[in-house]
Amino acid sequence: MDEIKFSLTQADKVAIERKDDDYINAKGAKLYGNQLYSQAVEYYRLGAVMGNSVSISNLGYCYLYGRDIPQNTALAIAYFKIASEKGNPDAAYKLGDIYSRDTWGLEDKELSIYYYSLAVTYIMGSDWQLLDDLYYADELQYFPSLCFALARELAKGEALIANIPLSYQFLLHAKIGYENELAQGFEMYRQSYESVQSLMVDPQYDEVRDKYDDIYFDDKENDEEDIDF
């Protein structure tokens, strides 16, 4: 645990006075990224009190993994559920993750899929499951781990009825999203990125791979042609 005494800066105090919860949450996230977890938790608590759903969800992460506070799965789930009810897709995704396997002794595949789907609903709206084409939903690329999770569930042999075209499209979003994260130096996503690449060459996608890869590459080429120098 980091032993640095916590104190608010003048900028923090002004942000609190101005109800700038995004600043407070971002401060916590920066400290968390530097592994100063106990200080990050204090900012997340402030952000949560100010109503920031990201801070509430981030507190869930800290409790789930015991990041300089005692590990408490029940409290983690409570924070995730509060943030999810505020429309936070990360919180809904993490609930899906908790129930997807027996790591926390709570495995419930149907409930897991419900929360994964709810996370996508928060991002895209409630009609997404009726669509055949999700490729153009670029906003999904900000949530690569969610996309990877749903791609696995939509693949053959998983809990959902298989939907190979949707599964592959989610894999494409996951791939692009992880590439963006890696480009920014977040190497913690390397293993997940490699797992996505491995799944993308699975024979179950042979009939749809070329179609969606062509859409991606054609769009990239067209975007480059549209750029005026």
C-alpha to C-alpha distance for 66 and 55, rounded to whole angstroms: 16
Q: How many CA atoms lie within 13 A of 79 on its CB side?
A: 25
Of 3-7, 143-147, 170-174, the least confident:
3-7
Q: What is the pTM for the complete model shown? A: 0.85
* pLDDT one-digit tens code per residue, 38-78: 999 999 999 999 999 999 999 999 999 999 899 999 999 99
**Rg of the chain (C-alpha set):** 19
pLDDT band at 127 (very low <50, low <70, confident <90, very high): confident
Q: Quick one: DSSP state of residue 156?
A: T
**Among 142, 141, 128, residue whose Cα is nearest residue 54:** 142
Cβ distance 196 to 171 under 8 Å? yes
Phi-psi region of 66 (alpha: psi -120 to 50; beta: other; left: phi over 0): left
Q: What is the mean pLDDT of residues 108-118?
A: 92
Dump pLDDT digits (tens) for 77-91.
999 999 999 999 999
User: Across the chain, what does the average pLDDT equal?
Assistant: 89
Question: Cα(166)–Cα(168) distance, rounded to whole angstroms?
Answer: 5
